């Protein structure tokens, strides 16, 4: 295998963020004593959250604003009189404790850590992501965790990848690959930085973006073999 530095996105690549997100949202609403119409409310929250994350990745809003605004707007649009600051605090605490692994995540990281160095690159909140990693069983295989919060720039910004490269024990672009589910953050970021990429695409979505992955897999179990094929190409 030619790669020696393996950079993994965390949410919806190694950890099933959607499952964690829904469980945390349900816990948060229960804490606030809101129990009716939660499925529709969660769907609206998700749309609002995704839109705000896009703005954050473009540098248009801060993460602190995002954390509160996603609840404020969801509540306001539904005429719900609840404190978005309290909701945000409860949700963040719950998210750190509702970790769901993507199938094959631990085994893959263990395998690749035996070959080279494994690092996490995430736009998620620094403290929360570290707690989630600690709960996941992934930590023993990881060399470092790079967060946009600590860096000051988010994927796909090249400055985030430059920051990440300095955290690795050794770094060269030909030896580095990123594995992630987001074309617009992970794969496009890899393209701009000039490193290989594996698009984790379990939903087998069409790529209608400008991002060009080096290869594509629909299961983490296929990553090792795909990287070995790249080495022989």
* 71 and 34 share one domain: yes
Quickly count: other Cβ atoms within 10 Å of residue 193's Cβ.
Answer: 21
SS3 of 7, please? strand
**Least confident span in 25-29, 128-132, 169-173:** 128-132
Domain endpoint, select from 55, 71, 95 = 95
* 158 and 77 share one domain: no
pLDDT in tens, 199-225: 999 999 999 999 999 999 999 999 999
Domain endpoint, select from 95, 129, 152 = 95
We report the CATH number of the domain holding residue 59 as: 1.10.150.240
* 129 and 226 share one domain: yes
Q: How many domains does the chain divide into?
A: 2
* 175 and 162 share one domain: yes
pLDDT at residue 96, as a whole number: 81
Q: Tell me whether strands 196-200 and 117-122 are parallel, antiparallel or unpaired.
A: unpaired
* 177 and 196 share one domain: yes
Could you tell me which residues are beta bridge partners of residue 46? none
> Cβ distance 230 to 195 under 8 Å?
no
In angstroms, the first-to-last Cα distance of the chain is 11
Copy the structure tokens of residue 93. 């605490």
Distances (CA, A) of 62 to 56, 118, 167: 6, 28, 24
pLDDT in tens, 72-94: 999 999 999 999 999 999 998 88
| Segments forming the whole domain that contains residue 70 | 17-95
* 213 and 113 share one domain: yes
Question: Is the previous residue joined to 2 through a cis bond, with omega within 30 degrees of 0?
Answer: no
pLDDT in tens, 117-128: 999 999 988 888
CA neighbor of 156 nearest in space, from 111, 118, 127, 123: 123
* 76 and 131 share one domain: no
pLDDT at residue 202, as a whole number: 96
Question: Which residue in 9, 175, 181, 196 is the catalytic one?
Answer: 9
| Distance of alpha carbon 28 from alpha carbon 144, whole angstroms | 30
pLDDT in tens, 145-197: 999 999 999 999 999 999 999 999 999 999 999 999 999 999 999 999 999 99
CA neighbor of 144 nearest in space, from 126, 118, 105: 118
* 149 and 83 share one domain: no
Residue 232 has pLDDT above 80, yes or no: no
We report the CATH number of the domain holding residue 217 as: 3.40.50.1000
Question: Which residue in 11, 12, 181, 196 is the catalytic one?
Answer: 11
Does the annotation mark 11 as catalytic?
yes
Strands (E), 79-206: 117-122, 144-147, 176-180, 196-200
* 40 and 85 share one domain: yes
SS3 of 74, please? helix
* 174 and 65 share one domain: no
* 123 and 151 share one domain: yes
pLDDT at residue 59, as a whole number: 86
SS3 of 229, please? helix
> Can you say how many angstroms the Cα of residue 197 is from the centroid of all Cα atoms in its chain?
15
Q: With bands split at pLDDT 50, 70 and 90, how would you rate the model's confidence at 10?
A: very high
Domain endpoint, select from 73, 95, 117 = 95
Copy the structure tokens of residue 226. 């795909």
pLDDT in tens, 31-74: 999 988 999 999 999 999 999 988 988 889 998 999 999 999 99
Residue 233 has pLDDT above 70, yes or no: no
* 131 and 192 share one domain: yes
């Amino acid at each position: 295998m030619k790669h020696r530095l393996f950079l993994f996105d965390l949410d919806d690549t190694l950890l099933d963020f959607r499952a964690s997100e829904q469980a945390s949202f349900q816990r948060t609403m229960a804490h606030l004593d809101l129990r009716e119409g939660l499925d529709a409310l969660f769907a609206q929250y998700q749309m609002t959250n995704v839109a705000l994350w896009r703005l954050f990745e473009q540098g248009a809003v801060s993460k602190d604003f995002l954390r509160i605004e996603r609840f404020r707007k969801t509540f306001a649009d539904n005429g719900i009189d609840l404190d978005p600051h309290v909701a945000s605090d409860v949700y963040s605490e719950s998210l750190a404790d509702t970790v769901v692994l993507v199938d094959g995540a631990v085994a893959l990281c263990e395998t690749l850590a035996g070959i080279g160095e494994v690092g996490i690159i995430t736009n998620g909140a620094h403290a929360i992501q570290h707690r989630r990693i600690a709960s996941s069983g992934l930590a023993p295989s990881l060399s470092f965790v790079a967060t946009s919060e600590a860096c000051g720039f988010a994927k796909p910004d090249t400055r985030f990848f430059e920051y990440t490269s300095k955290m690795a024990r050794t770094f060269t672009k030909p030896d580095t690959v990123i594995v992630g589910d987001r074309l617009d953050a992970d794969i496009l970021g890899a393209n701009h930085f000039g490193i290989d990429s594996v698009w984790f695409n379990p939903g087998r979505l069409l790529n209608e973006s400008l991002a060009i992955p080096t290869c594509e897999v629909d299961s983490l179990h296929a990553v090792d073999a795909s990287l070995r094929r790249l080495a022989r190409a």
